[in-house]
Structure 1
């Protein structure tokens, strides 16, 4: 009985690192969800503006801004999806660690593959997030001449 408790303690120590990674991913998801909410709010404002605008020049500017906002929504949604998938793969790593230990199976290759996939998804999510931030920065001045916000 003593050895199974010490084995469990050892597995729990090993599992701590992926759990910290999950915490980091959760932080990224929180930031990305917040950005998504802000973008959606801005898109709703622009959509209301488009419905009442008469000036063709301002209407064109608003349509262009709306196009960029929808592009940002698509990019941030992709980032959120990849971060979520990464978290799921990390959870799979944790499950494999426990299953491998308690069923006395060698799941080393599966664990490595799952962890690498999780990291690659996280890298892709962060690159996508960076693209969204850069797009937001490039379009920052758009719509400044309106005083309805």
Structure 2
């Protein structure tokens, strides 16, 4: 009986480290969600201005900004997809590792593969986020000229 409790305790200890990773991924998803909300809000403003035919800004500028917003929205959406995928993979890693400890079969290769896929997904998410930030910075620097 003590061996089983120590095995469970060890499995829980191993499962705690990926939980910290889930916290980081959740924070990233929150940031991406905030950026996507701002993109949607700005799109609504521009579409409203175009529909009203407001003469305050040239239509070409609004259309150019809408194209930029579309690109940004796609990048953020895909970044969110890969961040959520990474979170799901980390959850599966925890479940498989815990199950492996309870059923006593080797899950090392499965856990390693899932963790690698989770990290690759996270890398893709961060790269897409970085690309979106570069788009914003580039657009703003061109507007200030």
Shift of 1:52: 2.1
CA distance in 2, matches of 1:46, 1:118: 37
Deviations 1:91-140 (A, max 9, x none): 11001111111111101000000000000000010000000011111222
**Residue matched to 1:98:** 98
CA distance in 2, matches of 1:26, 1:54: 40
Shift of 1:25: 0.2
Unaligned runs of 5+ in 1: 145-149
**Residue matched to 2:109:** 109
Unaligned runs of 5+ in 2: none
CA distance in 2, matches of 1:76, 1:23: 19
Q: TM-score w.r.t. structure 2 length?
A: 0.93
Tell me the C-alpha RMSD between the 2 structures: 1.7
**Residue matched to 2:132:** 132
Aligned length: 143
Following TM superposition, where does structure 1 have runs of at least 4 consecutive aligned residues deviating by more than 6 angstroms?
Answer: 141-144
The answer to whether the 8 Å contact 1:61/1:143 transfers is no
The structure with the largest helix share of the pair is 2
**Residue matched to 2:20:** 20
Alignment of structure 1 residues 112-123 onto 2, 5 Å: 112-123=112-123
Q: TM-score w.r.t. structure 1 length?
A: 0.90
CA distance in 2, matches of 1:137, 1:49: 24
